Amino acid sequence: MTNLRKALAAVLSGFVIWTAAFGQFSSLVQRAAFVELVILLGLATYPLFVGSRWRPLGIVIDGILAIGATVACLTILRRANDIMSSLPFAEMSDILLTVILIVVILEVARRTIGLIFPLLVLAGLAYALLGQFIPGRFGHRGFDIYFVTETLFLGDLGFWGLLTGVAATTLAAFTLFGALLLHSGGGDAFMKLAMRIGGRTTGGAAKIATIASGLFGMISGSSVANVATTGAFTIPMMKRLGYPRPFAGAVEAVASTGGQLAPPIMGAAAFIMAEILGVSYVTIAAAAALPAVLFYAGVFVTVHSMAAANGLGAVPREELPSWRDALNPSRLAPVIVAFAGLTYGLVNGRSLQSSAFFAMAGVVIVSILMAIAEKRFGDWRHAMMDAVEDAGRGLVIVGILLAGAQILVSMINLTGLGVTLSSMLATIGGGVLILGFVVAATCMVMGMGIPTTAAYVLVASVLAPAMIRAGVEPLTAHMFVFYYATLSVITPPVCVAVFVAASLADTRWPAVARRALAIGASAYGLPFLFLLIPATLHPSLSVAYLHAIVAGAVFILATAAMFGGWSIFGRRFVDIPCWIAIAFGGLAPHWTLTAIAAVALLAIIARDFIGTRRQVPDFPVSR
């Protein structure tokens, strides 16, 4: 099974590289071939009943699923031209293949990302087929199995729709690029830089986790995977240096979640958002830049304040790399060449997947030259094999996730559920801010227990239109719902990133969740900056954008200082209202209140740097 998995991962990676370098096939062929390869690799990577006495039965079931999916996808490859030219009616054989493909996709999704997401997809299918039995506004005329089959299987709106297309092209290329970069030495470079930058300051180990998780998360597609990867190093280090376990887990969970909000990849959302809105990827990445900086500024200040208030010191000097080692050109070369290749492609107007190919080619060439120069070609070969395997696992999750999400989205669009919910939300009184609070809470509930990308796709289909109908700019609406869908992974009760971090920290998850909410508190208010000052998402050399920078900085720093235990007068019942006033003064849409709040914040900072800052931890990390 191991050899089969490696072979399938290599074939899938080769398919991704070929289409990134030489252009994709026709849409149906590209997407059907990708889904087929992803399903086969998923079945090989996550076999049924592994390690159990039922494994022989699992082999039989996996074989049947693989054959059924292969027949379904090969049918699309054979009939692609006919489907796109004549839109054929569904026959019984098409219905059978549709059911088989749904079962296989949802079964692989269950094995890779859990049960909640497949249940959501099944609920969407049931809603489409049984809508005539639902009373009230949510009822609809219902659609028979033939029409659902034509939508899902015999067209480009179901299995082979937009989301699957993004997964099969742009996301696949960037997933492979990220794996190659990390395994070629980029991951080690990120970690050493993080250790050197943050290690010798107050709360050094927690700052290393924040920086490293942010760097890894920028090219990672999953908050949970990021926690598992960087947390395996940072959490034990914090525990060894005496940091309380809940605090260690919370820092890693929040910092890893922030990586999904930071360009260039944003957990795949940047590419999907660009496709949905019909704008360039560069527009999305540029819009997300300032919010990402503010997010990590808030986390950094909160972590520093909590560490100072609780006496959490720096990492011993002997455990840190030297600056010479951290900035070693040979270590940074893959990172520099990768982003140079990516920039070259984008500047010259090449597609995103072509730009990713230039980056991948640069990484591979540089890593080969380094391996030859250092006479470690065998290590390089093993590293590339590991990269291909890791990329294969990532592609399974991305491909299956978006193929399943495409089923759900197509049913939402078919039944008009999104329009119904949007109409109901748009009637909420109290203006855009009240609607924002309702949408934010709904996003976090809908996003619980499912990966970031799927959560965004779901809330973007249902909730973003409601905000747009209420007068919110489309980019602002999508970025707003994306942030809250992403934050659901650290929001109780179903906070999957917290669960993983608590497991690594060997402590109870409620304690980790409580501290994660405090560390990430400033991030929960950040999306309202998009609503109050729309220029936040439109970088430019303008007074409006300068206002957004100042307002965001004041709000984030004041909120972070409050939850970090930064004292103003030494009395929490006085300090908290003052911090709240400064924070919300910063968010004011007019310069006057923002300027007053900024002056007050600067005065407090100046006083504490000149004198001795007193801190009373509002969320003590030692408990």
Is there a contact between 263 and 292 (Cβ–Cβ < 8 Å)?
yes
Per-residue tokens: 120: 């959501």
Confidence of residue 99 (pLDDT cuts 50, 70, 90): very high
pLDDT digits (tens, 9 = 90+) for 303-346: 988 888 888 888 888 888 888 888 887 778 888 998 899 888 88
Per-residue tokens: 1: 């099974």
303 falls within a domain: yes
pLDDT of residue 617: 47
Average pLDDT, the chain: 87
Percent of the chain past pLDDT 90, that is, above it, reads: 41
415 falls within a domain: no
Per-residue tokens: 580: 């709240």
Based on the domain organization, do 387 and 282 belong to the same domain?
Answer: yes
490 falls within a domain: no
Which residue(s) pair with 566 in the sheet? 615
* Greater model confidence, 571 or 279: 279
Which residue(s) pair with 615 in the sheet? 566
Distance CA 174, CA 40 (A): 21
pLDDT of residue 613: 47
pLDDT digits (tens, 9 = 90+) for 346-375: 888 888 889 889 999 999 999 888 888 877
Based on the domain organization, do 250 and 328 belong to the same domain?
Answer: yes
Is there a contact between 350 and 13 (Cβ–Cβ < 8 Å)?
no
Phi then psi dihedrals of residue 615, to 5 deg: -130, 135
Is there a contact between 60 and 421 (Cβ–Cβ < 8 Å)?
no
Closest by Cα among 498, 484, 412, 457 to 223: 498
| Residue 589 preceded by cis peptide, ω within 30 | no
Label each residue of 77-110 as H, E or C: HHHHHHHHHHCCCCCHHHHHHHHHHHHHHHHHHH
pLDDT of residue 615: 47
Based on the domain organization, do 225 and 210 belong to the same domain?
Answer: yes
Confidence of residue 616 (pLDDT cuts 50, 70, 90): very low
Based on the domain organization, do 353 and 305 belong to the same domain?
Answer: yes
All residues at 6 or more sequence positions from 50 whose CB lies less than 8 Å from its CB, including other chains:
58
Q: Is the predicted pLDDT of residue 106 greater than 90, yes or no? A: yes
What amino acid occupies position 332?
L
Question: Averaged over 558-586, what is the pLDDT?
Answer: 87
All residues at 6 or more sequence positions from 490 whose CB lies less than 8 Å from its CB, including other chains:
253, 254, 257, 497, 498, 513, 516, 517, 520
Based on the domain organization, do 174 and 83 belong to the same domain?
Answer: no
Per-residue tokens: 488: 């659901």
pLDDT of residue 1: 62
* Greater model confidence, 463 or 294: 294
Distance CA 299, CA 560 (A): 7
26 falls within a domain: yes
Based on the domain organization, do 188 and 277 belong to the same domain?
Answer: yes
69 falls within a domain: yes
CA dihedral 506, 507, 512, 513 (to 10 degrees): 110
Based on the domain organization, do 235 and 364 belong to the same domain?
Answer: yes
Distance CA 585, CA 285 (A): 28
* Greater model confidence, 102 or 50: 102
pLDDT of residue 280: 87
Based on the domain organization, do 22 and 77 belong to the same domain?
Answer: yes
Instruction: Return the DSSP state at 414.
Output: H
Distance CA 305, CA 616 (A): 10
Distance CA 343, CA 285 (A): 13
pLDDT digits (tens, 9 = 90+) for 55-65: 999 999 999 99
Is there a contact between 478 and 273 (Cβ–Cβ < 8 Å)?
yes
Distance CA 117, CA 303 (A): 33
Is there a contact between 43 and 65 (Cβ–Cβ < 8 Å)?
yes
Handedness of CA 477, 398, 263, 491 (dihedral sign): positive
All residues at 6 or more sequence positions from 494 whose CB lies less than 8 Å from its CB, including other chains:
116, 448, 449, 488
Based on the domain organization, do 153 and 175 belong to the same domain?
Answer: no
Instruction: Give pTM, 2 decimals.
Output: 0.85
Q: Is the predicted pLDDT of residue 614 greater than 50, yes or no? A: no
Number of domains in the chain: 2
Distance CA 238, CA 46 (A): 32
Question: Averaged over 401-409, what is the pLDDT?
Answer: 90
Q: Is the predicted pLDDT of residue 554 greater than 50, yes or no? A: yes
pLDDT digits (tens, 9 = 90+) for 501-529: 998 999 999 999 999 999 999 999 999 99
247 falls within a domain: yes
pLDDT of residue 323: 85
Please give the residue range of the domain that contains residue 148.
2-160
Question: Averaged over 563-587, what is the pLDDT?
Answer: 86
Q: Of the candidates 160, 192, 220, which is a domain's last residue?
A: 160
All residues at 6 or more sequence positions from 345 whose CB lies less than 8 Å from its CB, including other chains:
351, 352, 354, 355, 356, 357, 358, 359
pLDDT of residue 121: 92
55 falls within a domain: yes
Based on the domain organization, do 255 and 133 belong to the same domain?
Answer: no
520 falls within a domain: no
* Greater model confidence, 572 or 582: 582
DSSP string, 194-214: HHHHHTTSTTHHHHHHHHHHH
pLDDT of residue 266: 76
pLDDT of residue 430: 63
pLDDT of residue 85: 85
pLDDT digits (tens, 9 = 90+) for 371-395: 888 777 777 888 889 999 988 988 9
Confidence of residue 618 (pLDDT cuts 50, 70, 90): very low
Based on the domain organization, do 330 and 236 belong to the same domain?
Answer: yes
- Give the up-direction half-sphere exposure of residue 189: CA atoms within 13 A in the CB hemisphere: 16
pLDDT digits (tens, 9 = 90+) for 201-245: 888 889 998 898 888 877 766 777 778 878 888 899 899 888 999
pLDDT digits (tens, 9 = 90+) for 147-160: 999 999 998 889 99
Question: Averaged over 549-578, what is the pLDDT?
Answer: 88
Is there a contact between 411 and 124 (Cβ–Cβ < 8 Å)?
yes
Our measurement of the distance from residue 597's CA atom to the centroid of its chain's CA atoms, rounded to an integer in Å, reads: 33
Is there a contact between 312 and 202 (Cβ–Cβ < 8 Å)?
yes
Q: Of the candidates 90, 125, 160, which is a domain's last residue?
A: 160
Instruction: Return the DSSP state at 571.
Output: -
Per-residue tokens: 280: 């360039």
All residues at 6 or more sequence positions from 420 whose CB lies less than 8 Å from its CB, including other chains:
137, 138
Q: Of the candidates 398, 432, 466, which is a domain's last residue?
A: 398
Confidence of residue 104 (pLDDT cuts 50, 70, 90): very high
* Greater model confidence, 102 or 446: 102
Closest by Cα among 441, 484, 438 to 460: 484
Q: Hey, how many other C-beta atoms are within 10 angstroms of the C-beta on 96?
A: 14
Q: Is the predicted pLDDT of residue 621 greater than 70, yes or no? A: no
pLDDT digits (tens, 9 = 90+) for 182-198: 888 888 888 888 899 88
Distance CA 400, CA 107 (A): 10
Based on the domain organization, do 212 and 138 belong to the same domain?
Answer: no
